Chain A
């Protein structure tokens, strides 16, 4: 695909309900064929942003472009982006085939062409025999796929999905995640997926936009978001994180010397993931993932070490979670392999490679 016009482009979108800024100056480019997820807690503005793109909610300011066309002022029924709703919103008085064909019919497609398109989509979602059924005669997972097919039928410029798996139980949810991803790959459609479930976001997406309080805090690949969070919010919302308040003592020769937990940690400056770098005297936060901490004190350099009392042990089969209480009173979560932990351990030293931690500038 050599086309460089993004499927969706948002320019400085803002929306407020009274004093509450639901969407706060959001800009975003989504390239064609990309699976992007808007991830954030409920109330962060992700669903409102989606509704704004399809025209069911009007932004106070900003512009929305689809395939390079400004559609900010277009009526909802004239927009080329289609949406899958959380409760599926299937039409109960229409058969599955009529539901799927509705969008095509509205576009003025002929009866024969609509029927053909319907058959194609039922094939795509692997429910070829359900065309004549009514939605209430279907299971939750089937309804979910019908809703997907209905939104895909009019060949939209992009497909927007508003927490579409939220109503399904865990097992079905995981099946549907794979199914959705596979449908996205086969159709080469641009998917904008909204969820508050970070595992769902990580496992399905090419790109993740982490949202908080109406803003996009970080937009990156799932790997980078996990490894290089740019804010405390991103670090703790995506996966588990141990956060240590720190003060910068000095920055020199590609190394930053930080005062953390009463000792000095020397960290390479490329592990500073936010801001324009740090200087002496700045406050910062060090992020360490629970699985980056390993038991024992090796002689290797480029390691930081923590010693504390084990206050809690939780066994998960392949993993064990330890809670370590440091001298400062801070609690640290360690995710380890069970073999690495001796039974009855009370005091413990753990270490982390300085390459595996991230430093976030405060403020």
Chain B
């Protein structure tokens, strides 16, 4: 009885971990199966699938498109989101609440709805489906996150800091470049990485806005329709490792920069001389 009580919680925890990660492990293993079909048990092993993937022109082309879209959409959402954040930061009270709600709203729309709306919209303004249209769609989706992240950082900034810079002889442009942007850099870096991941993993908007151009998730989907071979498992595993690595690195990088500052403030709070 006692044993059960002691083991119940850790047991549940490990069950949960297995539930999360077992599918991924199975997928990674499947990539090594020496057969044209995905099935258990794996009787003979090969690295052929992994090697094939690296020379598959379609996959490489879709990865390249996804990368372009990610960079372009991230640049757009930061270029638009930053001024919106500055504007919102200057307001207060009800107006501010309304502005923030307006900015954040697109993030809560059902993705399919927003994708269809965007598809109709780009048709109306005469924009062809393809890379630019996808990037545009992704930028719309990730801009709210840019605004919120920048706004959070701006809120912690002493207004006196920009006043002090002006007092010391910096005009508006220098204040922005030398004081405000460097202060915002952790938030901007975080927003950058977040937007990149968000764009890279998006399927629905890319599918609706891409036309004949296929981003990586769209290509995977179209391949699936012809059956699931171990090659898909292999490429998925590679991407999984790459994006997880990127995400973990980003998270650590941002945290080390921010925490590095905050802890040193509290540690040296009131020591004098």
Residues of A at under 8 Å CB distance from B? 54-56, 75-79, 82-83, 85-87, 89-93, 102-103, 106-107, 134, 136-142, 150-151, 154, 169, 172, 175
From B136-144, B243-251, B261-269, the one touching the partner chain is B261-269
B113 CB–A CB distance under 8 Å: no
Task: Specify which chain B residues have a CB less than 8 angstroms from the CB of A137 in the assembled complex.
Answer: 264, 268
User: Can you list 24 contacts pairing A with B, beta carbon distance less than 8 Å?
Assistant: A56-B163, A56-B166, A56-B167, A76-B167, A77-B167, A77-B168, A78-B169, A83-B167, A85-B164, A87-B158, A87-B160, A89-B160, A90-B164, A91-B165, A102-B165, A102-B170, A106-B168, A106-B169, A134-B264, A136-B261, A138-B268, A139-B268, A151-B168, A154-B168
Given A55-B166, A106-B168; 10 other pairs, CB 8 A cutoff = A75-B171, A79-B167, A91-B182, A92-B183, A103-B168, A106-B169, A107-B169, A139-B273, A142-B273, A175-B272
User: By the criterion CB–CB under 8 Å, are B174 and A106 in contact?
Assistant: yes
Docked Cα-Cα span, A107 to B269, in Å, equals 33
Task: Specify which chain A residues have a CB less than 8 angstroms from the CB of B264 in the assembled complex.
Answer: 134, 136-137
Query: Which 9 pairs show the lowest CB-CB distances between chains A and B?
Result: A106-B169, A89-B160, A103-B168, A89-B164, A85-B160, A93-B182, A136-B265, A76-B166, A141-B272
Name which of B179, B182, B272 has the most chain A CB atoms within 10 A of its CB: B272
Separation in Å of the B177 CB from the closest CB of chain A? Answer: 12
B44 CB–A CB distance under 8 Å: no
Separation in Å of the B142 CB from the closest CB of chain A? Answer: 25
Given contacts A85-B163, A138-B268, A141-B273, contact A93 B169 (CB under 8 A): no
Task: Specify which chain B residues have a CB less than 8 angstroms from the CB of A92 in the assembled complex.
Answer: 183, 261
Given contacts A93-B182, A103-B169, contact A139 B161 (CB under 8 A): no
Chain B residue nearest to A98 in the complex (CB): B178
User: By the criterion CB–CB under 8 Å, are A77 and B166 in contact?
Assistant: yes
Task: Specify which chain B residues have a CB less than 8 angstroms from the CB of A55 in the assembled complex.
Answer: 166-167
Residues of B at under 8 Å CB distance from A? 158, 160-161, 163-171, 174, 179, 182-183, 185, 261-262, 264-265, 268-273
Task: Specify which chain A residues have a CB less than 8 angstroms from the CB of B160 in the assembled complex.
Answer: 85-87, 89
Chain A residue nearest to B172 in the complex (CB): A77
A89 touches which of B163, B261, B262, B270 (Cβ 8 Å)? B163
B169 touches which of A83, A91, A139, A154 (Cβ 8 Å)? A154
Task: Specify which chain B residues have a CB less than 8 angstroms from the CB of A89 in the assembled complex.
Answer: 158, 160-161, 163-164
- Interface SS of B by simple majority: helix
Docked Cα-Cα span, A188 to B170, in Å, equals 26
Separation in Å of the A284 CB from the closest CB of chain B? Answer: 44
Task: Specify which chain B residues have a CB less than 8 angstroms from the CB of A85 in the assembled complex.
Answer: 160, 163-164
User: By the criterion CB–CB under 8 Å, are A169 and B167 in contact?
Assistant: no
Docked Cα-Cα span, A43 to B174, in Å, equals 32
Name which of B165, B169, B170, B264 has the most chain A CB atoms within 10 A of its CB: B169
User: By the criterion CB–CB under 8 Å, are A82 and B268 in contact?
Assistant: no
Task: Specify which chain B residues have a CB less than 8 angstroms from the CB of A90 in the assembled complex.
Answer: 161, 164
Docked Cα-Cα span, A90 to B270, in Å, equals 17
Separation in Å of the B151 CB from the closest CB of chain A? Answer: 18
Separation in Å of the A32 CB from the closest CB of chain B? Answer: 20
Separation in Å of the B213 CB from the closest CB of chain A? Answer: 41
Chain B residue nearest to A86 in the complex (CB): B160
User: By the criterion CB–CB under 8 Å, are B270 and A91 in contact?
Assistant: no
Given contacts A77-B169, A102-B165, contact A91 B272 (CB under 8 A): no
Separation in Å of the B59 CB from the closest CB of chain A? Answer: 42
Task: Specify which chain A residues have a CB less than 8 angstroms from the CB of B161 in the assembled complex.
Answer: 89-91
Separation in Å of the A106 CB from the closest CB of chain B? Answer: 3
Separation in Å of the B90 CB from the closest CB of chain A? Answer: 16
Docked Cα-Cα span, A90 to B273, in Å, equals 18
Task: Specify which chain A residues have a CB less than 8 angstroms from the CB of B272 in the assembled complex.
Answer: 139-142, 172, 175
Docked Cα-Cα span, A90 to B183, in Å, equals 12
Docked Cα-Cα span, A76 to B168, in Å, equals 9
User: By the criterion CB–CB under 8 Å, are A150 and B168 in contact?
Assistant: yes
Separation in Å of the B267 CB from the closest CB of chain A? Answer: 9
Separation in Å of the A227 CB from the closest CB of chain B? Answer: 36
Separation in Å of the A41 CB from the closest CB of chain B? Answer: 21
Docked Cα-Cα span, A75 to B269, in Å, equals 36
User: By the criterion CB–CB under 8 Å, are A169 and B270 in contact?
Assistant: yes
Docked Cα-Cα span, A293 to B261, in Å, equals 56
Docked Cα-Cα span, A175 to B168, in Å, equals 27
A82 touches which of B167, B183, B265 (Cβ 8 Å)? B167
Docked Cα-Cα span, A154 to B164, in Å, equals 13
Given contacts A106-B170, A106-B174, A154-B169, contact A93 B164 (CB under 8 A): no
Docked Cα-Cα span, A89 to B179, in Å, equals 11
